[in-house]
């Protein structure tokens, strides 16, 4: 048995002897990894901060019972049970052995016991400064929590903004020629994450969209091929160095349209399939009325900024998130006597969560991998 497990068990035993009413924190891990813990309030304590859930405006009188359990009879896990009126909530966390430092898997199970359907409001509480993307939450530019797929759908939106799964890198761009200063700040989609912006327009409206780039890392072409998608226009592939060269600002123009009629124009930059460098970049976005007469060279020079409906210094100080606030609030619909489960993947150590759009890890695979390493660890002793 590993030291940290002994510590967890010793802590439990000691607290039980001294003060039966107190509930201890519970540590959990996977063989060879540093442990995480669930504290007595059911919060997960990670290297990057604490993750907590507030359920149904839970009041101070709510009691949480935290205990150490084994999943599949072998995976050490922490479990917290609490009651919120007629809704029972069970949070279960264990470590999955995903390279390099492991992923914590948090399952939140909600059960309706009162015999009537309910809408249960849930808030995800993260450290100050956390930023929420469409599918992940980031702390210090690192994606540390992957969110359930539909959690963000009901959030209030701004007129334009970025879904914060990509990372702002101010000053990354070093254009070698005079140009609009907003080429200097960029966003990068670390690990293949899309850079995704949305702009409010009248449903089905058309606009001219210009996106600006400047490659300031690679010297040669072929390293960072990207795919540029603007709603209503043909996809344009781009290799900045092949087209313009290193440190040379350039731009692509799109005749855009809100094709799906949802009142938003979508701009997405992705890595091309098979790209050696899977981190897409983006420096600037301009949105112009369709009737504007434009020369790309003058747009790049910043001379048409005043004509633009939107001029976004991507990754700069005036860049903004599509969603305001740092707290994620959503509602879970529970049928009478029904249950629902929410899954969160949580980064541990210095790692980050895999991109939810492209990862091959499913909850079932993570659980099987965790059970397998514990069986092998037991067999080896």
Question: Which residues inside 288-347 make contact with Ca ion, applying CB under 5 A?
Answer: 313-316
Instruction: Kindly state whether residue 260 participates in binding Ca ion, applying the rule CB under 5 A.
Output: yes
Separation CA 236–CA 214 (nearest Å): 16
- Closest distance of CB 11 from Ca ion, Å: 49
DSSP β-ladder status, 226-230 and 236-238: antiparallel
Q: What is the DSSP string of 204-264?
A: T-EEEEEEEE---S-SSTTSS-EEEEETTS--EEE-HHHHT-TT--EEEEEEEE-TT-SSE
Instruction: Kindly state whether residue 163 participates in binding Ca ion, applying the rule CB under 5 A.
Output: no
- Closest distance of CB 248 from Ca ion, Å: 15
Instruction: Kindly state whether residue 104 participates in binding Ca ion, applying the rule CB under 5 A.
Output: no
Cβ-based nearer residue to Ca ion, 262 or 309: 262
* Token output for 341: 């489960």
- Closest distance of CB 213 from Ca ion, Å: 10
Three-state DSSP at 362 gives coil
How are strands ordered across the β-sheet holding 49-55?
A: 26-28, 36-38, 44-46, 49-55, 118-125, 328-334
Instruction: Kindly state whether residue 113 participates in binding Ca ion, applying the rule CB under 5 A.
Output: no
Secondary structure element (H or E) that encloses residue 53, with its range? strand 49-55
Cβ-based nearer residue to Ca ion, 118 or 248: 248
Given candidates 52, 62, 262, 329, which one binds Ca ion under the rule CB under 5 A?
262
- Closest distance of CB 183 from Ca ion, Å: 6
Cβ-based nearer residue to Ca ion, 37 or 198: 198
Question: Which residues inside 219-258 make contact with Ca ion, applying CB under 5 A?
Answer: 258
Three-state DSSP at 307 gives helix
Q: Which residue is nearest to Ca ion (CB)?
A: 185
- Closest distance of CB 169 from Ca ion, Å: 9
List contacts with Ca ion (CB under 5 A): 182, 185, 258, 260, 262, 264, 283, 313-316
């Amino acid at each position: 048995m590993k030291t940290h497990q002994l510590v967890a068990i010793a802590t439990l035993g000691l607290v039980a002897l001294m003060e039966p009413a107190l509930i201890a924190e519970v540590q959990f891990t996977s063989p060879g990894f540093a442990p995480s813990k669930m504290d007595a309030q059911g919060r997960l304590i990670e290297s990057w901060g604490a993750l907590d859930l507030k359920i149904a405006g839970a009041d101070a009188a709510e009691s949480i019972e935290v205990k150490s359990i084994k999943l599949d009879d072998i995976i050490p896990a922490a479990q917290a049970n609490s009651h919120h009126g007629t809704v029972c909530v069970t949070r279960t966390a264990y470590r999955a052995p995903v390279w390099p430092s492991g992923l914590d898997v948090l399952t939140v199970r909600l059960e309706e016991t009162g015999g009537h359907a309910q809408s249960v409001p849930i808030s995800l509480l993260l450290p100050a400064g956390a930023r929420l993307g469409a599918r992940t939450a980031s702390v210090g530019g690192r994606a540390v929590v992957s969110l359930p797929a539909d959690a963000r759908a009901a959030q209030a939106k701004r007129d334009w903004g970025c879904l914060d799964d990509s990372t702002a890198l101010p000053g990354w761009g070093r254009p070698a020629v005079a140009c609009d200063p907003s080429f200097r700040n960029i966003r990068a989609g670390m690990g293949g994450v899309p850079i995704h912006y949305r702009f409010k327009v009248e449903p089905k409206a058309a606009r001219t969209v210009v996106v600006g780039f400047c490659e300031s890392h690679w010297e040669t072409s072929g390293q960072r091929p990207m795919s540029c998608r603007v709603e209503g226009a043909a996809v344009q592939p781009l290799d900045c160095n092949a087209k313009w060269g290193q440190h040379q600002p350039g731009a692509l123009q799109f005749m855009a349209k809100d094709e799906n009629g949802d009142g938003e124009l979508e701009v997405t930059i992705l890595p091309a399939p098979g790209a050696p460098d899977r981190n897409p970049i983006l420096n600037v976005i301009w949105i112009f009325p369709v009737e504007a007469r434009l020369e790309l060279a003058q747009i790049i020079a910043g001379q048409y900024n005043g004509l633009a409906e939107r001029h976004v210094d991507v990754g700069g100080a005036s860049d903004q998130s599509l969603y305001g606030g740092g707290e994620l609030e959503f509602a879970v619909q529970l049928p009478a006597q029904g249950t629902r489960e929410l899954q969160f993947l949580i980064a541990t150590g210095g790692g980050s969560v895999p991109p939810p759009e492209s990862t091959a890890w499913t909850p079932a695979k993570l659980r099987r991998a965790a059970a397998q390493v514990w069986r092998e660890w037991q067999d080896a002793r």
